[in-house]
Structure 1
Amino acid sequence: MQRRANAYASGTAVALLSVLGLTALTGCSGSSGTPGAASDAKPGSGVAAAAAPGKYRTLREACRTVGRSTLKDLLPGAAELPADQQRKAYAGTAAVTYDTDRRVGCRWQADSPSASHRLVIDFERVVSYDAEVSDEDRAQEVYAAKQAGARLPVAEDPRGDKASPSAGGSGSAPSSRGASATGAASGAPAAGKASPPAGGEEDEGLEPRVLDDLGDSAFLDDQLARAGSTAQSRTVSVVFRTSNVIVTVQYAEQPALVTEVPDSKELQEKARGLARKLNEQING
């Protein structure tokens, strides 16, 4: 009887030691305690480092980014309106968005007996949901899709080979990683298909082109169109990226007379001037 009791006690002790040993082994081989370590880790490697977040976390109120003096210059017809309508014209109309930390925009318009002018600005703060892609890299992909959609003329290099679109400086080539899909889904004012400005030799150098003096990447598009029997309307679009924010400026003019053509140089200078001011605000 005593021998059977000793055997039972020995077996219990062995089983208990086995359980304790298994528990200790499990504790040593588990997670290091770093939040998200298991989800970020790759097979056969250590914990993957998350890509850097974007420089900008918020956006300004779009309708307050353009000063009254600038609006007076871009919307000459507003000065001829009654006081209450003038205030409304300069206040602008905010774009409908569902997250003002991610997307904001504003639209202004003023008509006069000689011409109608329209200004639209759009700010998009890009956020990457891929732990391996930074917000800035993702923003460059979205920007590249917009540039590709504009179909800027391809310049010839001195050797006779086709170069990347660049009539005015450097610009990043469109990224192949999801560029077309992100451009279609971005919802920003579309730059559209490039249409060289009309008017002859005086328009040389004013064609749609990449810009090298604005933000991290930038391009300009110039569209001349006729809507039915009305006068020709010209729309100049300037799109630029600064870190993880993409800004689009659209400035359009439609003369009252069918025989008149909006001046490409004047519209481009005003659109680029506003874009530079917005870039300074963002980085100020």
Structure 2
Amino acid sequence: LNDEVLDVWLTESEPGGCGIITRMEDVFHQDPVSVLNLFMRSFAVSDYEQIDYNLFEMLSRLSSSSELQEALNAIRQASSHLQRRQANAHLRALLKAQGFALSHSFMSVLHTRVLRPGSQASHDAQMLAYLNAWRELEDKAGYEIALNIFAHTQATQELPDASVIKVFERFCKIQGMLWQRGNAIRRSVLSYYNPFKSGNNLTERLLLSSLFQQTACSISISESDWLAQLHHAITQHGFAELHIPREARHRIVEVISLVQVTPIEYFGLHLYPRESAVDYQDGNLVLRFELAEALL
């Protein structure tokens, strides 16, 4: 990195190669914005980071949502395969209506942690209490704390005078209830294979994402003139972000269709913006639109 210019050297992994770099060069010359978008997306928030936020949000809503509590209990109390299928379908419909992204990863962690065999409503409250305590400990310390460190700290606080065996049992229980957060999952997204080095290759997504950050103008669809604001921002900067609140995710098809069929007047030309990325921020859906023809 020299004078704010990043030089990246690419080489073929084997002598002779198979034209991958040449092909990438052609794609970059045809549409450099799309190539840079791939890098931005690679260093963006991963699915597992979003799962942590969504599960915490769902557990936080349980105390004020009797409907969600009943949906979880229906799965736990199902006495047949048919009842469980019906209860699971109802839960999925309820979560979708509340704006949760029902990815395979989210549903997998939901069933292995929240809806694990033998779990009860008290289990949900205990899990939320542990997550809150974990976050409070990180805020107090000023840095991220790994799952095993938090589990050991919490176990020793709950059983200050117990034997080592009892503390270890509580440690295993706490660690089995929760899931990895922070750097552990950010690092796993960017893991790579190096034939000349064994062991873990440490990376930090947040450091790499800063290389491709672009401050985009953000518009919410809650604004009455959001489409006009979006067009103005794209005209001025070439790209913009459209925020859709969790409760309004059912409008995503309507919003995307309207944006893509409404042209933007750009230096006397009628151009159509394209959707370049879909992301999540604090539970909100973020759509990024851009003009491929914009020369900025």
Higher share in strand: 1
Per the shorter chain, which TM-score range?
under 0.3
- Structure 1 or 2, whichever has the larger Rg, is 1
TM-score (norm 1): 0.21
| TM-score relative to the length of structure 2 | 0.21
Q: Which has the higher helix share?
A: 2
